[in-house]
Amino acid sequence: MVDVSLILLFVIDLVAVFAAYLIVTVSLNLEFGYTGIPNFGKVLPFAAGAFAAGSFPGRLLAELSGLPRGIEAYASNEILATCVREFAFRKPQVLTYLNYVEDNVVVTTCLTKLLQSSPLLSISVLLLTLLVAAAVGATLGYVSSYPAIRLREDYLAMTLLAMAELVSVVGYNYPEIVGGTLGVSLPDPYAWVGGERRFLLATVALAVMALITFFYMERVSLSPFGRVMKAVRDGELASEALGKDVVRLRQKVLIIASALAGIGGALWAFYLGGVISTGYDRVTWTFWPWVMVIIGGAANNLGVVLGTGIFVTSRKLIDFYKFALEPYLPFSVVWVDRLALGILLIFMLIVRPEGILAEKPRTAMKKEKILSIMRRAKTKP
């Protein structure tokens, strides 16, 4: 008999992973597909957004509620006081002082109970955290734009890749941010819906943000700004000769794309319920998004959606069934997904290097409207 609940959980997780990757790939398409910036440091703003979610809302709520100052500071809050006392028999010092990282389980558990009782507070914390994540991502995008001013192509790609490694090194070796190698849990802003439905709500939040990102990029690609991006990608010197500020354009693109990736990172951290620095590596959040964009087709947002869907679904199915192949493989099954998807990438580069849906010329207005304007212009005296 088919377990419907298991299938439902599989689908929810699939949609969540797809939405998170779509935010990253569509923003990468803005940088590489439309502007020609080879951003091999895409993990930088995404991880920074996740780190912002792992450090900002918990610390903010803890300070506002008085948790670090001892039970006297929050004794009037029955939810927090009761929750902390439940942990005091194992660690009595939590009644006098709570450190966000060292006592993360106590802090996040009690803050989640507080959020569970107030949907309005939960939504406010979520939205404020997304704004902070966007600001952090945009700031890192602005910092990343400086190499984009002076370097081109392969040198720029290596520089952005090196910059992305910084966030992993800092997160790994500076535990005060998100707990270093142990990571931290997050206060759950979806807890107010109760039970397993929080995963459904977290998935909906990711999906809504992915749709917003997609339609925003569609509008940008058809705007005058989008046409300038393509002009810079296809001929930087010609664009400069026509008076376009290439440096300023690259800065704007990196800031916008990094802000969106930062929001995606924060939503992904809230979906998982925790952050650990080792979970944001260059393979998962830089190399795989590049594969998705290449498979789907650069400078084509629909192609990127298709490439992301094919990749994420294939990888989930491989992970789900790969242990059934263990008796027949001469190597460990943990490498099946990377091997299969690597072969798919090589095949696509050989057979169809422009991707499944190649870039096509697009007009800002429909053909019928353009012809109508031309007819009206001819009839005027």
Q: What tokens were used for 81? A: 């006081």
Residues, the chain, total?
381
Model confidence pLDDT, tens digit, residues 158-199: 888 888 888 888 888 899 999 988 899 999 999 999 888 999
**Can you tell me whether residue 381 is helix, strand or coil?**
coil
Q: pLDDT category, 365, cuts 50, 70, 90? A: low
Model confidence pLDDT, tens digit, residues 35-53: 999 999 999 999 999 999 9
Q: Are the C-beta atoms of residues 280 and 45 closer than 8 Å to each other? A: no
Distance CA 30, CA 250 (A): 11
Q: What is the pLDDT of residue 242?
A: 86
Average pLDDT over residues 143-171: 79
Q: Are the C-beta atoms of residues 164 and 96 closer than 8 Å to each other? A: no
Q: What is the pLDDT of residue 323?
A: 80
Interstrand relation of 274-275 and 184-185 (parallel, antiparallel or unpaired): antiparallel
Q: Are the C-beta atoms of residues 187 and 249 closer than 8 Å to each other? A: no
Q: What is the pLDDT of residue 150?
A: 67
The DSSP result for 102-113, as a single string, is TTHHHHHHHHHH
Model confidence pLDDT, tens digit, residues 55-111: 999 999 999 999 999 999 999 999 999 999 999 988 888 899 999 999 999 999 999
Model confidence pLDDT, tens digit, residues 5-35: 788 888 999 999 999 999 999 999 999 999 9
Q: What is the pLDDT of residue 381?
A: 58
Per mean pLDDT, which range of 136-145, 178-187, 243-252, 325-334 is the poorest? 325-334
Q: What tokens were used for 113? A: 């109970």
Q: What is the pLDDT of residue 111?
A: 96
The winner for highest mean pLDDT among 14-23, 92-101, 248-257, 274-283 is 14-23
Instruction: Give helix 43-65 / helix 119-150 axis angle, nearest 10°.
Output: 140
Q: Per-residue pLDDT for 152 more than 70?
A: no
Cα 184 to Cα 76, 127, 177, 274, 277, distances in angstroms: 27, 20, 9, 6, 10
Query: If you average pLDDT over every residue of the chain, what do you get?
Result: 90
Average pLDDT over residues 139-155: 78
Q: What tokens were used for 349? A: 């580069």
Phi, psi of 226 (to 5 degrees): -65, -40
**Can you tell me whether residue 221 is helix, strand or coil?**
helix
**Can you tell me whether residue 366 is helix, strand or coil?**
coil
Percentage with pLDDT > 70 across the chain: 96
Q: pLDDT category, 148, cuts 50, 70, 90? A: low
